[in-house]
Amino acid sequence: MRASAIRIATYNLQKCVGLDLRRRPDRTMRVINDLRADVVVLQEADKRIPPRPAALPHEMIEEDGWRILPFGAPGGSLGRHGNAMLVRQDVVIERMSHLNLPGLEPRGAILADIAIGAQPLRIVGLHLGLIRRHRLLQVSVIMRMLHREPARPTILAGDFNDWGNGAALDATAQGFTFARTGPSFPAPRPIARLDRFALSPDLMTLATGVHSSRPARIASDHLPVWIEIAPAMVSRRAS
């Protein structure tokens, strides 16, 4: 990782149930640690049945040096609507909020204003719906929310659930640019770019990657995806 880069990762961990049908939180943590990220945005981080306890135990996460942003509801959930966020110990957390998204399925997004070193950053973690028109509506709602927020370098990260070329999402997320990331689903032989990042104009992509090393190909049906970013002016000077 470059000295000026911030690494963000997104991972749909499928409640820590691997393709071998075994629930192995320890295996999931190994994948997360191998990403070497400053921030990891998670989807399907909680079990489905109320009170929706965390699929990934809090103690296991904290033992490995991560901080859990407290989006979870009472009852031990790791996040909200399955969306969670882990940050390294030196990350400064300034503000958090969440947003319920429209659609037939219960969906939501989480927002965190953080600082990594001297770099302020807003991260929106999301998991969009399976129906195309609902996905576009959900992105529109997120965009309206962001337009009401004070300006800040922002990255959208998560499972966009879009099997297409991303043109419709790109048109809906006006002012944001989707990074060129590789396919992440299904994990054994990925063909779909479901897991993506979209950046505001004041951020620049330095590098992206899909983490496919063992045990990622069996730990979930998604592979985790990462991006290294920097302020746009810094990136242009470096080039």
* Domains recognised in the chain with CATH numbers: 6-238 (3.60.10.10)
Q: What is the mean pLDDT of residues 192-216?
A: 97
In this predicted structure, which of 55-59, 104-108, 180-184 has the lowest mean pLDDT?
104-108
pLDDT digits (tens, 9 = 90+) for 150-179: 999 999 999 999 998 888 999 999 999 999
User: What per-residue confidence (pLDDT) applies to 104?
Assistant: 84
Phi, psi of 211 (to 5 degrees): -85, 110
pLDDT at 2 over 70: no
- DSSP assignment of 13-75 equals -GGGB-TTS-B-HHHHHHHHHHT--SEEEEES-B-SSTT--BSS-HHHHHHTTEEE-S-PPTT
Enumerate residues 6+ apart whose C-beta is below 8 A from 49.
none
Rounded to 5°, angle at Cα 25 from 138 and 15: 30
Enumerate residues 6+ apart whose C-beta is below 8 A from 121.
6, 113, 114, 115, 152, 153, 154, 155
Which residue type is seen at 100? N
Cα(220)–Cα(215) distance, rounded to whole angstroms? Answer: 9
pTM above 0.85, yes or no: yes
More confident residue, 236 or 19: 19
Phi, psi of 238 (to 5 degrees): -65, -25
3-class DSSP state of 175: coil
User: What per-residue confidence (pLDDT) applies to 24?
Assistant: 97
Residue 231 CB-half CA count within 13 A? 12
